[in-house]
Amino acid sequence: MATSPDRGAAGTDAPARRTTPWTRLTAFLRIDAPGNHRGALSPAVAILAVMIFTLAGLVIDGGRQLGAKSRAVGYAQEAARVGAATIQLNTSEAKIDTAKAGTAVAAFCAQVSQNDKAVQQCGTTELTDEGLKVQVVIGNKTTFLGMVGIGHLDATGTGEAHAEQGVKKADDSPKIPPIVVSTPGDGPGNVTITDTAVPPTLDLPCPTWTIGSPTPTWTLSFPFPPTCTPSVTPTPESPTPTSPSPSPTPSGGGGAPLGVPENSQPPGANR
């Protein structure tokens, strides 16, 4: 039986369809295509996954970067202080010995590089007799940011130190004006701050002593109040009565009483 030219290759009445690459790609991507059991991935899921990994990279790798930055700054500052400690001894002003400072910084950087393998660079960027600068670079290998093309981060820290001169002369210390806070009688919240030191008024009792006697010894740490004066008036002393002189006691021997001549006899006495 001959086939009709109007029939398709399958012997049906439907006309034959011409397949092109575009139609085959469309059929491959269609989820509801007949017999398609492959599944499909939504573009939103792919974009959301990339965002999640990027946020995780910012949190985890960013925290590591901050820690590396802190270590780099600490190493640089300590190295700068080590270099500034090498002061020239035969000068009137504080100056850094540049030769000793370079050697000290190099030794410190060698020890830091040995203890911390992430240190990539450590050394002085500026060195004079007045100050020096040290730069430290620490490499940080990323974990999650490597999925978006960032696999390595560098943390740079700088430190600076200077040779400071101390007190040059006796009156070189700064003058700090006194500050006095006074509270008026209106309440504890009303205060007045002045820059003039006024000694507070001390209500101390004055000692009592007699007029004409020496000032008593002041045992407190405050100066003796100038308003204190003698306040006790001395009382006049009454005259002391004189006792009569005792009569002379006659001696134990014989003879006439004291004051009577021995040759005098009373009248009528027999001799």
- Domain coverage including residue 65: 43-162
pTM of the predicted protein model? 0.46
Neighbouring C-alpha atoms within 13 Å toward the C-beta of 119: 22
pLDDT tens, position by position, 228-245: 777 777 776 655 555 555
Q: Is 16 exposed, middle or buried (0-12, 13-18, 19+ CB in 10 A)?
A: exposed
What's the number of domains the chain is made of? 1
Identify whether 92 is part of a domain.
yes
Identify whether 130 is part of a domain.
yes
Confidence band for 269, pLDDT divided at 50, 70 and 90: very low
Helix axes 98-115, 43-84, angle to 10 degrees: 140
Work out the number of other CB atoms within 10 angstroms of the CB of residue 72: 27
Give the pLDDT of residue 134. 96
- Least trusted range by pLDDT, from 50-59, 103-112, 186-195, 249-258: 249-258
Identify whether 131 is part of a domain.
yes
Identify whether 23 is part of a domain.
no
Identify whether 149 is part of a domain.
yes
Identify whether 145 is part of a domain.
yes
The residue among 102 and 238 whose pLDDT is bigger is 102
Max mean pLDDT among 157-166, 187-196, 198-207 falls in 157-166
Identify whether 35 is part of a domain.
no
Identify whether 182 is part of a domain.
no
Give the residue from 65, 77, 64 showing the smallest Cα distance to 109.
77
The DSSP-derived string for 207-242 is P--BTTSPPPPP-SSSPPPTT----BPPPPPPPPPP
